[in-house]
Amino acid sequence: MKNSSLAICLSATLALTGCATTKTLQPISGSKADGTVTLAYEYGMFESPTVDWNRANITAKQRCAAWGFNNAQAFGNGQSQCTAYNQYGCTRQQVNVVYQCTK
């Protein structure tokens, strides 16, 4: 009985605090004319995302380099929007980060 009570407490704690997950941003759109690249990641209700910003910067620079730019600079940490709801509220978030390509 003692082990099952411990397992229940551990499960409840994880559900309440969320699971830390590393997120890698993926390209979702861009405009050569505007010199912008948009990267995004998604996370669920019980996830606590940790973003790999180094990888995101490399990805944005590579996309910009394909258009003849030398660098990319993020406009902040992104805009979040809910992409899925249920009776308890938002269950899935998408975060979009826009990068400006620079010379």
Tell me: pLDDT of 55 over 50.
yes
The position carrying tokens 């009776």 is 87
Residue 34 above 80 pLDDT?
Answer: yes
What value does the mean pLDDT take over residues 38-50? 96
Reported for 14-20, long-range contacts at CB under 8 A and 24+ positions apart, including other chains, are 15/46, 17/48, 18/46, 18/47, 18/48, 19/46, 19/47, 19/48, 20/47, 20/48, 20/49, 20/50
Residue 20 is predicted with a pLDDT of: 85
**What is the domain range of residue 41?**
18-102
Give the residue from 91, 24, 14 showing the smallest Cα distance to 58: 24
Cβ contact 17:78 at 8 Å: no
Q: How many domains does the chain have?
A: 1
Domain assignment of residue 34, yes or no: yes
pLDDT for the residue 19: 84
Domain annotation covers residue 10: no
57 has a pLDDT exceeding 90:
yes
The pLDDT of 13-21, averaged and rounded, is 64
The Cα 7–Cα 83 span in angstroms is 32
What mean pLDDT comes out for the span 76-101?
A: 96
